[in-house]
């Protein structure tokens, strides 16, 4: 057995922390920026979806949330673009977007010990993430966190995945990352309740000729496949279909990581709101 495999196996023998919930939510920025101008019926439905999700997150009493999100050119650009970056700092900065100025906690408390454990587990298992001791968390994570109206913000371990500029992680690798996260939590030697929150997607187009288009057919097939839970059909659909559902659909990688962490056991769909007003096929889910 190679040393990395030995370390990986050894890490799995000390389960203490608990994965208490896995959730996903869209994060279209117009939900924040254009909120006063959105139709009342849409605002009520979006609020209900985020509220239901928030209620479920509150119910699991998470101490820490692993937040899976894209980086919208906030921390990284083409001169320095990691495929996946784990935030291991004591704290992180809040969103830079003016329309997110009402987001309350600044700075956002991180969980350096849990973040470092995930990083070390990944490296021991032949994954190669990069790291940051301080990230600026944009609307990708902060919009769902704020809309869920949590009375107490858990510590956040952000994991930012390149979902803007190809080439990107394969969906197969995203599922593997999810399994790795599950194993890392199970081997973390602290009594911590950990939740996973994946943000982004589903179909949407930003800054391209199809901007504003929503591929409702793809979104519904995608949600059905996630709900069924089987990884094979999901990988087929995502590898061959997501690229045609707008450049924003690359963010479904975060959902794939969450699904891998859940062991493919399927999820409950809270709501799907294909909203031209916010340019996004907005979806909200909790894994069983």
Give the residue numbers marked as catalytic.
139, 204
Residues in CB range of 284: below 8 A, 6 or more apart: 24, 25, 26, 49, 50, 52, 53, 269, 270, 271, 272
Cα 47 to Cα 143, 146, 213: the distances in Å are 12, 11, 22
What is the rounded (10 degree) CA torsion for 120, 124, 125, 127? 60
Q: Which two tokens stand for residue 141?
A: 């994570």
The rounded distance, in Å, linking the Cα atoms of 213 and 246 is: 8
For 155, the enclosing helix (H) or strand (E) is strand 155-161
């Amino acid at each position: 057995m190679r040393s990395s495999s030995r370390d990986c196996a050894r890490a799995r023998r000390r389960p203490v922390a608990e994965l208490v919930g896995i959730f996903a939510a869209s994060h279209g920025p117009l939900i924040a920026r254009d909120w006063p101008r959105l139709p009342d019926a849409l605002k009520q439905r979006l609020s209900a979806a985020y509220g239901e999700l928030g209620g479920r997150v509150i119910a699991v009493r998470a101490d820490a949330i692993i937040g899976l999100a894209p980086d919208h050119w906030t921390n990284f650009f083409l001169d320095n673009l990691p495929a996946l970056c784990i935030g291991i700092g004591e704290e992180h900065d809040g969103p830079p977007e003016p329309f997110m100025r009402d987001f309350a906690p600044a700075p956002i408390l991180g969980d350096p010990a849990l973040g470092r454990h995930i990083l070390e587990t990944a490296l021991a298992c032949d994954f190669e993430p990069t790291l940051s001791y301080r990230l600026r968390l944009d609307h990708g994570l902060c919009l769902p966190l704020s809309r869920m109206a949590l009375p107490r913000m858990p510590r956040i371990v952000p994991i930012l995945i390149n979902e803007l500029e190809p080439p990107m992680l394969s969906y197969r690798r995203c599922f593997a990352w999810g399994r790795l996260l599950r194993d890392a939590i199970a081997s973390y030697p602290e009594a911590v309740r950990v939740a996973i929150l994946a943000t982004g997607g589903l179909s949407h187009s930003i800054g391209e000729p199809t901007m504003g288009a929503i591929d409702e057919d793809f979104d519904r097939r995608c949600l059905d496949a996630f709900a069924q839970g089987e990884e094979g059909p999901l990988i087929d659909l995502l590898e061959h279909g997501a690229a045609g559902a707008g450049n924003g659909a690359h963010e479904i990688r975060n959902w794939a990581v969450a699904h891998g962490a859940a062991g493919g056991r399927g999820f409950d769909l809270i709501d799907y709101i294909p909203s031209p007003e916010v340019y996004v096929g907005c979806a909200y889910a909790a894994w069983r």
